[in-house]
Amino acid sequence: MGDFKHKHSLGQNFLKDKKVLIKIIDSVDVKEDDLIIEVGPGQGALTKYLKLFRANLRCYEIDKRVKKYLDSFIDEKTEIIYEDFLNVDLNKQVKDIKYNDLYVIANLPYYITTPIIEKIINSKIDVKAMVLMVQNEVADRLAAKPGSKDYGAITVYLNYYFDVEKLFVVNRNSFDPVPNVDSAVIKLARKDNKYQVNEDLFFKFVKDAFAMKRKNLKNNLSKYDLKLIEPILSKYNLTLQDRAEQVSLECFIEIVNNLSK
C-alpha cells in the first residue's frame, strides 16, 4: 500500500487478499450490459476485478487522495465519482445510463454500513443484488433467522426487500491496516414478490416491536390494539408473551394488515 496514510475516520481498511476478491466476483453473474455501483473503492483492489465483467461501472469515493490509484480505471464504461455516497442523488445519476440489471458490490466502511444500505433502498433504484463486505457481527444480524438472538428490526427491514445470505467470513488479516474484527461477505438478492401492506405502518410497527429487545410483545406494543394482534400471533404458534425476535416477516405483515382494516 506504499506510504498511503489510511484515515480511521473514513473506515479505511483496504482488502488485499486476491482469493477473497475472486470469491466476491464469483458470487454474482454480471453481464456486459449491466451496471455495477461500487461504494468506497479505496485504492481499487476490488475495482480491478469488477472491471473484468466489462459492465458499466460507477465508483463513489469520498477521499480524493486516491485519485492517483483510481483514475487509471476510467474509460467509456467506468466513471469514478469523488463525492460522499450518502449525499448523491442516485436516481439522477443512473437514469442516463443504459443498462439491464443493477448490482451494488462493495467493501463497506463499518461505521456507515446501515446508512449506505438504507440509502440504496430508499433511493428506489431497482437493484437486482448487493454483495457487500461488512463486519462479521453485522453480517450475522442482517442474515439472521427468526428465533435467533441476532434477529432484529434491521433484519426484518432487509428481508422485506431481499433474500439475505451470509456467504463467507473474511479474516481480519486480509485487510490493510488490520482491523480489530473479522468481516463477512453477504449477498442481498432482490425479491420478486411485492407485499401488500401499508409500508409506513409496517416499518413503524416493526421498530416498535423491537423497541426494547428484552421486553415481550405485550409491553412493546401496548399502544396498539392487542386484540387484533393476538389471533395472528396464535396462527404462528406465538403469544404476546413472546419477544419480537420470534416473529417472522410474514407474521409481521399479517398483523399490520389486520391493524389496517
**What pTM value is reported for the model?**
0.91
pLDDT digits 0-9 by tens, 100-153: 999 999 998 888 899 999 999 999 899 999 999 999 999 999 999 999 999 999
Angle, CA 147 vertex, CA 146 and CA 151 arms, to 5°: 60
Cell of 259: 391493524
pLDDT digit of tens for each residue in the chain (261 aa)?
455 555 544 445 778 899 999 999 999 999 999 999 999 998 899 999 999 999 999 999 999 989 999 999 999 999 999 999 999 999 999 988 999 999 999 998 888 899 999 999 999 899 999 999 999 999 999 999 999 999 999 999 999 999 999 999 999 998 888 888 999 999 999 998 779 999 999 999 999 999 998 999 999 999 999 999 999 999 999 999 999 999 999 999 999 999 998
Residues 206 and 186 in one domain: no
Size (the chain), residues: 261
- From first CA to last CA, the distance across the chain in angstroms is 59
Give the residue from 104, 121, 115, 130 showing the smallest Cα distance to 37.
104
Q: Could you give the number of structural domains in the chain? A: 2
Residues 110 and 207 in one domain: no
Pairing of strands 175-176, 56-60: unpaired
Instruction: Output the average pLDDT for the chain.
Output: 93
CA 131 to chain centre: 8
How many helices (H) and strands (E) the chain has is answered by 11, 9
40 is a domain residue:
yes
Which domain-ending residue is among 190, 207, 234? 190
Domain boundaries, position 228? 199-260
Which domain-ending residue is among 168, 190, 212? 190
Give the residue from 91, 106, 112, 126 showing the smallest Cα distance to 47.
106
Say which CATH number the domain at 248 has. Answer: 1.10.8.100
